[in-house]
A and B are shown apart, each in its own frame.
Chain A
Amino acid sequence: MFDWTFGLLSPAMTDLIIEATKQTLYMVLVSGLLGTLVGLPLGVFLATSRSGELLAAPWLNGVLGLVVNAARSTPFIILVVAIIPFTRLVAGSSIGTNAAIVPLTVAAAPFIARLIEASVREVDQGLVEAARAMGAGPLQIITKVLLPEALPSITLALTLAVVSLLGYSAMVGAVGGGGLGDLGIRFGYQRFMPEVMATVVVVLILLVQGVQTLGDSLARRLDKRHRG
C-alpha cells in the first residue's frame, strides 16, 4: 500500500488518523445537516417576521432573536459541558462521537440561522413586491422567490458553517467525541508527537480547502447574475 505519510507515521498511527478523519467528517456532516434543518427555517423566519414583513410576528421574532444570540454568545466548550443532561437525553449517553453531535448541532443551528437570515435579507425587496403584485402568498414568496434567489448566498453561508464546524469539532474531544482535533491534542500535544500534530493540521487544512472550493464552485454555478 502507498504510504502517504512517507514513513513519518507508524501504520498504527496512520490508521488512527484515518479513523479520526472519518469521525470528524461524520460529526461535521451530521451536525451540519441537522443544524441546517433547524437553522434554515429559523433563519427564514427571522428574516421575514419583523413588523411589516411577510410573516410579521415582531414579538416572536424578538424572543427567537434573543435565544439565538444567547446560544451564539456561549463559548462552545462551555456549551458542550452545560448541555450534558440534554445530550444524555437525546443521544442516550454524554460520551462518544454520537453524543458530540448534539452540542455541535446546538451550536450550528443558531449560527446557520443568522447566516440564512442575512442571505434572505439580501434579496431585493422589489422581487417580493413583484411577487405580491402577482398574488403570491407568504409561503409562495418564500419558496418561489426568497429561497431560490438567495440560494447562491445560502450555499456560501453553509460552506462557512461547515468550515466553522470543523473547528468546533476539535473541541468535542472533551466529551470523548474523538475526531482529528482530539487526536492532535492527545498524541501531538500530550505525548509530544509533533509529526501527528502536523499531520492533523495538514488534513484539516485539506478538508477546509476542499469544502471551501466545493462551496465556491457550487455557488458560482448557481449564481446567474454575472453572465454575458
Chain B
Amino acid sequence: MSTLRSPFPNIRSDEHLPDATTESPVNAPSSTAPDPQTAAPVILFDKVEKTYAGRRGQVPVTALSDISLAVPEGAIVGVIGRSGAGKSTLIRLVNGLERPSSGRVVVAGTDVAALSEKALRAERRSIGMIFQHFNLLARRTAYDNVALPLEIAGLARQEIKARVEPLLELVGLADKRERYPAELSGGQKQRVGIARALATRPRVLLSDEATSALDPETTGQILALLRKVNAELKLTVLLITHEMAVIKAVADRVAVIDGGRIVEEGATYDVFAHPRHATTRAFLSDLTGASLPPYVADRLKSEPGPGREALVRIVFTGDHATDPVLSRVSRLLGLDLNIIQAQVDEIAGKPFGVIVISVPGDAATLSAVTNAVERLNLDAEVLGYV
C-alpha cells in the first residue's frame, strides 16, 4: 500500500505520536472510533435551529436549521463546510458562546442551551476550545497562557504549576515556557492553545479551524497532537474545518454542512467511499482523485458521440481495494482498458483507491464494463465522454 499523495507527510513520523498510532496507521478505528450506536454521545445536537434577528426592516437570517448530530464519546468528529455554511455557529453552540433559537444542545447530559450564563461558566470548564488564530494573550508567556484558565477557575499557584508543567511537556513546549507568543511559530502557538484548552481537564475539545492558519507540514503535526490527546486523555473532539485533508487525517466521523443544514453524515471512510451529496463530492474532488487532469477535463463531453471514449471512475474500497480488478475486467471482456488517472490512499486506516479508465464509448461495451465492475461490489460511475 503506497500513499501516492499525502498532504501531511509528517503525520506518521511525528515523534510525539503515541505508540498506539505509530504501530497502526494514523486512524485506528478499531480502537479509537466507537460505534455511534453503542457509545453514548457526549455532544448531542437535537433539532437545533439558529436564527439571527435581521436589522430593522430586514428578514431574519437563518444560520442553522434542523441540525441533529451525535458526537460519540472518545471520537473525533469533523464538521466540514464552506465559509458561511454555519459551522462556526454550530461549534459555538456547544459551549454556549452562541445560543440556539430552538432545539437542544446536550453536552455530557446537560442541555447547555437551557443554562443561565453563570451556570454555563462552570460547564465551560469541561469544554476546551482552540482557535484558528490561537487567541493567545500577547502579554503572557506560554506558561502564563496555559495557566490562565486555571487562574480563572481559582486554583492556587502551586496547583497551577503542577498542572501547567506536564501540559507543556505533553505538547512538546517545555523549553519554551518563558517565551511570549510573538516569539513562537504558528505551530508552537497552537500547541500552547491546545495545552491551554486542556488545562481544566475537559471531556470535550472544540477545534475551530485550528489548522487553517498553518502550513501543511505544521498542520500535520498539530493534527497528530490532536490524535494523541484524543487517545491518551480519552478526549472527545469536535472539529470544524473547510479542508477535507483535515477530516481525512483525523476524523472518525464526518458531517458535511451546507447552507446551515447537515447534508451528509457518517463514518469518514464511508463518506469518502460513497459520497452522496454534491457538496461532499466537491470537497472530495481534490483529495480522492475525483478531479481529472486538465487536458482530459477540457475535452469532456456529457454525450456519447462517434469515436468518443467513455471515462469511467471506479472506487476501490474495503476488501476489494487491493484486488486486481482491472486486469480481471479486461480479461473477462477481452478489452484494453486505458488508465487516465489512478490514486491509492488510506482513509481511517483502510485502503481506498480511485481509478479513472477510458473504454470504447458505445452503449453495449460501456454497460458490460460497468456491470462487470459492479459484480465485483465496486462502484462505477460514468464521468463523460472524450
The answer to whether the Cβ of B131 comes within 8 Å of any Cβ in the partner chain is yes
A130 and B124 form a contact (CB under 8 A): no
Q: Report the nearest A residue to B185, measured CB to CB.
A: A228
Identify which of A131, A134, A148, A227 gathers the most chain B CB atoms within 10 Å of its CB: A134
- Say whether, besides A130-B135, A135-B122, A148-B139, A228 and B129 are in contact (CB < 8 Å): no
Task: Determine if A126 is an interface residue (Cβ-Cβ < 8 Å).
Answer: yes
Closest Cβ of chain B: how far from A143's Cβ, in Å?
A: 10
Q: Mark A205-228, 1 if CB is under 8 A from B, else 0.
A: 000000000000000001111111
User: Nearest B residue to A150 by beta-carbon distance?
Assistant: B139
Residues of B within 8 A of A148 (CB): 137, 139-140
CB-defined contacts of B200 to chain A, threshold 8 Å:
134-135
Interface mask (B199-235 → A, CB under 8 Å = 1, otherwise 0): 0100000100000000000000000000000000000
**How many B residues touch A, CB cutoff 8 Å?**
32
Contact A224 B152 (CB under 8 A): no
Q: What per-residue 1/0 map shows which CB atoms of A33-77 lie under 8 Å from chain B?
A: 000000000000000000000000000000000000000000000
- B325 proximal to A (CB < 8 A): no
Check B97–A132 contact: CB distance below 8 A: yes
Alpha-carbon distance between A137 and B122 when the two chains are bound, in angstroms: 10
Given the complex, which residues of A lie within 8 Å of B151, measured CB to CB? Answer: 144
Note all chain B residues with C-beta closer than 8 A to A127.
135, 137
Nearest Cβ in chain A — how far from B177, in angstroms?
15
Q: Which of B122, B148, B200 has the most CB of A within 10 A?
A: B148
How long is the Cα–Cα vector from A134 to B123 in the complex, in angstroms? 9
Bound Cα distance A201, B312 (Å):
88
Assembly CA distance A144 to B139 (angstroms): 11
> Which residues of chain A have C-beta atoms less than 8 A from B152's C-beta?
131, 134-136, 140, 144
Give CA–CA (A223, B128) in the complex, Å.
Answer: 28
B121 sits at the interface (CB 8 A):
yes
The reply to whether A133 and B138 contact each other, CB–CB distance below 8 Å, is: no
Tell me, yes or no, whether A149 is within 8 Å of chain B by CB: yes
Q: Which A172-216 residues have C-beta < 8 A from chain B?
A: none
Q: How far is the CB of A223 from chain B (nearest CB, A)?
A: 8
What residues of chain B lie closer than 8 Å to A133, measured between beta carbons?
95, 97, 124, 127-129, 206
Given the contacts A131-B152, A134-B149, A149-B138, A226 and B182 also touching, CB distance less than 8 Å: yes
Task: Flag whether B125 is at the interface (Cβ < 8 A).
Answer: yes
B interface with A by C-beta (< 8 Å): 95, 97, 118, 120-125, 127-129, 131, 133, 135, 137-140, 148-149, 151-153, 179-183, 196, 200, 206
Listed from nearest, the 4 A-B pairs whose CB atoms lie closest are A228-B183, A130-B135, A135-B124, A134-B149
